Amino acid sequence: MVEATHLIEIPLTVEIPVGPQHPALHEPLLLKLHADGERVIKVDVITGYNHRGIEKLAEKNTFYRDIFIVGRVCGICNAVHANCYVRALEYLLDVDPPPRAKYLRVLAMELERLHSHMLILAVNAELAGYETLFMYLMKDREYIMKAKEILTGQRVLADYMMVGGVRRDIDEVKKSRILDIVQRVEERVKYYHKVFREDATINKRLRDAGRIKQADALAYSLVGPVARGSGVKTDARAHDKYDAYNEIPFNVITEDYGDSYARAMVRFGELYESANMVKYILTHLPQGNPVPDERKLPRRFPEGESYAIVEAPRGELTYYVSSSGGDKPYRVKIRTPSLNNIVNSAFAYVDQMIADVPIILGSFDPCISCMERAVITDLRRGVKYQIPLKMLGGVKK
Amino acid sequence: MSQSLVESLKEYVVKSYAMKPNRLVIEVEASKVREVFVKLAEVLGKESFYLATIEGTDLPEKKLIRIDYFINLFKHDAYLVLRAYLPRENPVVPSVIDLIPGALAGELETHDLLGVLFEGNTYLRRSFFVPEDISSKGIYPLRKDSGV
């Protein structure tokens, strides 16, 4: 018998870094792929390039200053961040804003959903290889930004929410301008929807990419269009009926198949719903003064705690605010939808092709500055892959 | 909903009350957190809820760290908060990651920012969010006496 003298170690996989520069959106995120040939067998999601310590910052500033700080957690969905935090404060103070303010808040948030979904659909198109479609979608998105500017005074950072109401009212001229824009853009959305449904390349690239089963979406706490694309009927607007969502009619859109295409279709469905909600709000806006007198708001908050949720374009966004009695919060906890959707979703890349990774990441609508977070390995498979080389081709999902 | 839930979890409930607006808070022993999640899946069904987030608060005056599990009972349009208190000197709680893989983000975050040890979670590490120059000194930024 010959004794072995050498131990030869063959690397099982090739490690390919995707990012941190521009893996899908122009935001920093590193996906460390472990690939066997063209097939991904494990993904480490590495974030933390953007952590700004906003929760700590919120503890050091007053309740009212924090409204402006949380609005800057995320550029694209600043109105929902501010809305969720402001409502957490209103729960603490037992303040109920007037109906007109509630309608206007929903209007700002639905305009935000419109432009956010159009952005990620444009990015999906770009990742699938259609730069022209990206440009078209971005051009029409710009009209929605304009509508948001007409309403709030700013096309991106709205700073529209106030405790007890909103910062600006709207008149008949503005109403008709916003209505006109939304009607025009809705027609364009119908056309883009048709392109996504009928174009062979987009279908080939998006279908079956990153399929997530319903049970997995729930177990891994995925939220928003990602969960709804897998058939989970969860929508904070329907569960919590905050602001005016108990009066404005809308449907929760779900798709069953759970792939990147299903997630895109959920977003298209929600574009129509949001456009309808905007039209409903502009034609059913209650009378009254939506702008509260800031001087009459209490400086000090009573002791207590509250937990507000909002359906951001990317999914359920939550704010926990605790007050120990004073002018500063004792603790503010922000959980953004991208934290769950990106950090917990490493399993969705397994057994997919390398070229599909950006498509799958894009379909999760990542917002990195929103989640600013981590090192993750695939949980279902464990860290180490002690399998013989000959089995590599047969890695089952 | 709240009444029946408190009733079905009564062997674990230390105290129950409401958080604004209408969120049911159930205080449980830290060591029983895993059992409560198993019981919850039995009572409500595995596919009727998900763990939305884990939140930790430092309470230096009471020498405690409070940890809250926010659970979205979306099929019942309700929210449940499981609350447990841990000693500040040795904040250890069993991890629920094998029961609920979605706990990963929350457990990693709470560990890195507050120093809570989730026993059984092999993915825990410092510098999840916290920059290395701070984490290498053993500082947990969300502790009130961290000096950050």
pLDDT single digits (tens) A300-359: 999 999 999 999 999 999 999 999 998 999 999 999 998 888 888 888 888 777 777 777
> In which residue ranges of chain A is CATH 1.10.645.10 found?
54-334
Q: Tokens for A11, please give them.
A: 């690397």
What is the structure's pLDDT at A378? 46
Residue A12 pLDDT level (bands cut at 50, 70, 90) = low
Q: Tokens for B135, please give them.
A: 């984490």
Q: A88 CA to chain B: closest CA distance, Å?
A: 8
- Where is average pLDDT lowest: A16-20, A229-233, B11-15, B138-142? A16-20
Q: Tokens for A269, please give them.
A: 């469905």
Neighbours of A194 (CB within 10 A): 11
CA neighbor of B57 nearest in space, from B141, B135, B114, B130: B114
CATH of domain A54-334: 1.10.645.10
Q: Which residues contact A70 (CB under 8 A, 6 or more apart)?
A: A54, A58, A81, A82, A84, A85, A319, A332, A334
User: Within an 8 Å CB–CB cutoff, is residue B72 touching chain A?
Assistant: yes
| Chain B residues near residue A375 by CB distance under 8 angstroms | 123, 125, 128
| Chain A residues near residue B102 by CB distance under 8 angstroms | 218-222, 340, 344
Q: Domain B2-135 belongs to what topology?
A: Beta Polymerase; domain 2 (3.30.460)
Q: B51 CA to chain A: closest CA distance, Å?
A: 6
Q: B118 CA to chain A: closest CA distance, Å?
A: 16
CA neighbor of B37 nearest in space, from B23, B54, B22, B20: B54
**What b/e string do you get for A63-80 counting C-beta neighbours within 10 Å, with b at 16 or more?**
bbebbebbbebbebbbbb
Q: Tokens for A231, please give them.
A: 């058939």
The answer to whether the Cβ–Cβ distance between A233 and B74 falls below 8 Å is yes
Q: Is A214 in contact with A232 (CB distance < 8 Å)? A: yes
**What b/e string do you get for B92-122 counting C-beta neighbours within 10 Å, with b at 16 or more?**
ebbbbbebbbbbbbbbbbbbbbbbbbbeebe
CA neighbor of A105 nearest in space, from A323, A317, A290, A238: A290
Name which of A54, A85, A220 to mutate to probe chain B: the one with the most chain B Cβ atoms within 10 A of its Cβ: A220
pLDDT single digits (tens) A104-144: 999 999 999 999 999 999 988 988 888 999 999 999 999 99
Residue B23 pLDDT level (bands cut at 50, 70, 90) = very high
- Phi, psi of A336, deg, nearest 5: -85, 155
What are the boundaries of each domain within chain B? 2-135
Alpha carbons within 13 A on the beta-carbon side of A65? 11
ipTM: 0.94
The CA distance from A281 to A179, in Å, is 10
Q: Is A373 in contact with B105 (CB distance < 8 Å)? A: yes
The CA angle A313-A334-B1, to the nearest 5 degrees, is 80
Coil, strand or helix: which one is B7? helix
pLDDT single digits (tens) A66-108: 999 999 888 888 999 999 999 999 999 999 999 999 999 999 9
The CA distance from B3 to B13, in Å, is 12
